[in-house]
Structure 1
Amino acid sequence: MGTIILVLMATMAGVAHSRFGDYTFPSYTRSPLGDSVDIASMKFLKETYNSAADKSVVSSPFGIMSLLAFYAAGAEGANRDEIVRFLGASDYKQLEASYESLSQRYASMDRSYLTVANKVFVSDKYTLRDQFKYAASAYRSDVENLNFENTKLAADTMNQWSASNTNGKISSPVSESDIDPAAAAALLNVIFFQGHWHVPFNASETKEKEFHLDRSNSVKKPMMHLLQSLFYYESAELGAKMIELPYKESQFRMIVVLPDEVDGLSSVVEKVAQRGLLEDVFKMGPAGADVKLDMPKFEIKSKLNLNELLPKVGVSRIFSEAAPGIIKEQGVAVSRGLQEAFIKVDEEGATAGAFTGLIMVFTSSNSRPPPPISFKVDHPFLFAILHNDIVLFTGTYAH
């Protein structure tokens, strides 16, 4: 039985943008696929959070799910069933249609703000099966031969592909030790999102303020400030309140989930793993008043070992059971699965200005606007980046 390597790279940079104009919140739609991606993403986040010593973590579960769906094209039996079950599909045909469609949709988007790409490196000693070549085409994946026996060359080649697709943000996710010289193939996925806020943060208003690590300890963090009408929701079920920060790029948004309690993040992570996030996201609406937002600038980089994390969400057979439909010469199992993810959120490029056309609230000539709602992100929180109802990135910030 041969081996195959799964490598995923995900990076997202959120910055403010200096051009503002009329803006209308898009109408988001909820779908069964969005729900299944949501549930799987939050289950994976829980295991990532629980396994990490540093509770500031980021990942793209969607990148992992896309590559698993791609891999499933060459698997069968219980091996494939585990993937179908984790991804929340009724059967493999539904999974195949859903993820091929998403891959094609995202591959056709403007690469100036979103890059979603797949790549297959196959050993020059082996040949891909025709059905897997078809799957590679459907997932918009390039195929290239590579000599895995030269582990340095193999790692360098994968790293160059990652760097070229992430504007150099993730340039060395693969080390020589990750490469099995006897590997038959490697499946790679990258997601790169460069988002521009529609909500302007004025850099001159960013101040050092207290960020509470827990009930007893705090540190100073640069906190961005905004007074604006935003989508908002208080979830008694999660024990948290939420805001939505829209991006200039259509249908993209960041959701910030702030636990009610300073030490409530682990409880919120546990609850979203059980019920997902979308149920609450789709209850969000105009706050009815301006939101007085204080939120830290932050940057997180995570390296995830999928050999350890995927079995915790019910996907383990890919590491021990051969998939017969990938390589002609023999079945292959995954020897190494890894993801490196990066996120940066700041107010770079922001200028002072009016944000026109956010949300209107009814007033009369005799009425006074209601007092602002305080949303002070001064303790550990959860965040997610969505395109419509598809969770692309998720993570937690703890310090």
Structure 2
Amino acid sequence: MTGSMAALSLLLLLGSLLTMVQSDTKFASKLFSVLHKTSTVRYVVFSPPSIRSALGLAYLGAEGTTAEELKRALSLEGSDKNDMAQRFAHRLAQEHKQYGDDAQFSYANRIYVAERYRLIQAYQELAGKYFNASAENVNFAESTKIHDDINSWVREQTHKQISFLFRSHKHISSDSAAILTNVVYFKASWLKGFHQFQTKAFGFVSIDGQKHSTYTMFQWEFFRYAELPSLKATALEMPYKGTDIVFLIILPLEVQGLYELEEKLSVLDLNEISSQMRREHVQLQIPKLKLEFDVSLQPVLDQLGIKTMFGPNADLSSLAQGRDIKISDMVHKAYLDLNENGTADASAGAPTSWLLSVLLMERPTKQFIVDHPFFFAIKDKQTIFFLGHVTSPY
């Protein structure tokens, strides 16, 4: 009987995890469809599971209409809060167990709540147990101190990859009720690294038609590659060492074709694109880039139906006691450093030998020249860790 109950519990957990994977993909698509249209900067990079975890943390403290909006946007229909929290915790633990030291992906959340509101003890316990997150009371009138504390926490959580979340203490208002902060850290090495001596200046045509010179990495190697005539694009996957995580690039055939491509991608599953790929010998050129992107998520989430959490009708009564508590701001920041070794400060993957590169240059070769705006994702078969696009290197 005990064995049967254990098997049933395992089946229920696996079923709920599958539902969560499907919900993650759906949420990532909805989020990108809004973000890429509203952003005016030269690149966008964000982590859907990281943002989703922060919203899950908010959902733990929400009731009434506020909770229903979050539940609907996160596709959590049929899930109670305890079930949702356990699935988040189990999924994150599985990701860490699966990749070990080869790839490190982690996100951190913290809610800063004005000291006029009394935090609910049960909320703090659940947040710590399932989300490895915390909520703390602060005096927002001490904006310089809060600014420094938040940025110090960000540096610690991202191994100093991200230096600050707020550039100035002026971004913190003494009237704030609560600020939800979310940062993400990712580090991995390419399965086949690039030779640094082959990196050189090369042209890149930005979305406005201007041509820039940017450091570009070169490699002749076998990659999974696909031609996608229905999308007017080509695609390539660069694998990371010791994992099945890949850096997926989808490159429009036309220099100005990114926005048309993204409209089509908004209704596609990226795994469908991956399924069309075949191993090909490719001449690859890709810019060496540092992408640092932060965004206040309130206007973005408003378009996804999450509205009351930020307004006077917010119900966060399971987070804290007190009248009129709301989330005054929710800030997400992501950072990617694409270099010869991998992503972030990863140790070097083994580059293709120089002699082998020369020999491979003589083979019939597909060309994948990333010299104009492109879409990218860091993903495996179950998780989209990052989504983004680059419209200009500078």
Which TM-score bucket, shorter chain as reference?
Answer: 0.7 to 0.9
Q: Which letter does structure 1 place at the counterpart of 2:309?
A: I
Higher normalized contact order (CA 8 Å, seq sep 6+, divided by chain length): 1
1:41 equivalenced with 2:28 (yes/no) = yes
**Corresponding residue of 1:328:** 321
Q: How far off is 1:82 after superposition?
A: 2.1
Work out the CA distance in 2 between the residues paired with 1:63 and 1:32.
17
Q: How far off is 1:208 after superposition?
A: 2.3
**Corresponding residue of 2:158:** 166
Work out the CA distance in 1 between the residues paired with 2:310 and 2:351.
52
**Corresponding residue of 2:51:** 64
TM-score by length of 1: 0.79
Q: How far off is 1:188 after superposition?
A: 3.0
Q: How far off is 1:346 after superposition?
A: 1.3
Work out the CA distance in 2 between the residues paired with 1:66 and 1:217.
38
Work out the CA distance in 1 between the residues paired with 2:30 and 2:173.
29
Indicate the larger mover: 51-60 or 184-193.
184-193
Work out the CA distance in 2 between the residues paired with 1:279 and 1:91.
27
Q: How far off is 1:295 after superposition?
A: 1.0
**Corresponding residue of 1:362:** none
Q: Is the 8 A contact 2:191 2:350 kept in 1?
A: no
Q: Which one of the candidate residues 167, 177, 186 is aligned to 1:193?
A: 186
Q: How far off is 1:209 after superposition?
A: 2.3
1:181 equivalenced with 2:177 (yes/no) = no
Tell me: CA distance 1:144–1:336, structure 2 relative to 1, closer, same or farther (3 Å).
closer
Work out the CA distance in 2 between the residues paired with 1:237 and 1:338.
36
Work out the CA distance in 2 between the residues paired with 1:38 and 1:204.
39
Q: Is the 8 A contact 1:103 1:140 kept in 2?
A: no
Q: State how 1:279-298 maps to structure 2 within 5 Å.
A: 279-281=272-274, 283-287=275-279, 289-298=280-289
Q: Which one of the candidate residues 224, 227, 233 is aligned to 1:240?
A: 233
Matched position secondary structure for 1:191 = strand
Q: Is the 8 A contact 1:39 1:274 kept in 2?
A: no
Work out the CA distance in 1 between the residues paired with 2:245 and 2:187.
11
User: What is the RMSD of the two structures over their aligned residues, measured on CA atoms?
Assistant: 2.8
Q: Which letter does structure 1 place at the counterpart of 2:57?
A: F
**Corresponding residue of 1:309:** 300
Tell me: CA distance 1:352–1:339, structure 2 relative to 1, closer, same or farther (3 Å).
closer
Work out the CA distance in 2 between the residues paired with 1:44 and 1:124.
32
Q: How far off is 1:223 after superposition?
A: 1.9
1:375 equivalenced with 2:371 (yes/no) = no
Q: Which one of the candidate residues 122, 129, 149 is aligned to 2:120?
A: 129
Tell me: CA distance 1:118–1:217, structure 2 relative to 1, closer, same or farther (3 Å).
closer
1:102 equivalenced with 2:95 (yes/no) = no
**Corresponding residue of 1:337:** 330
**Corresponding residue of 1:361:** none
**Corresponding residue of 1:3:** none
Q: How far off is 1:183 after superposition?
A: 4.2
**Corresponding residue of 2:74:** 87
Work out the CA distance in 1 between the residues paired with 2:139 and 2:323.
18
Q: Is the 8 A contact 2:223 2:238 kept in 1?
A: yes
Matched position secondary structure for 1:268 = helix
Work out the CA distance in 2 between the residues paired with 1:120 and 1:336.
10
Q: Which letter does structure 2 place at the counterpart of 1:149?
A: A
Matched position secondary structure for 1:332 = coil
Q: Percent same amino acid at aligned positions?
A: 25
Q: How far off is 1:397 after superposition?
A: 0.8
Indicate the larger mover: 261-270 or 321-330.
321-330
Q: Which one of the candidate residues 120, 139, 161 is aligned to 1:147?
A: 139
Q: Which runs of 5+ in 1 are unaligned?
A: 1-29, 356-368
Q: Which letter does structure 2 place at the counterpart of 1:233?
A: A
Q: How far off is 1:43 after superposition?
A: 2.6
Structure with more helix by fraction: 2
Matched position secondary structure for 2:52 = helix
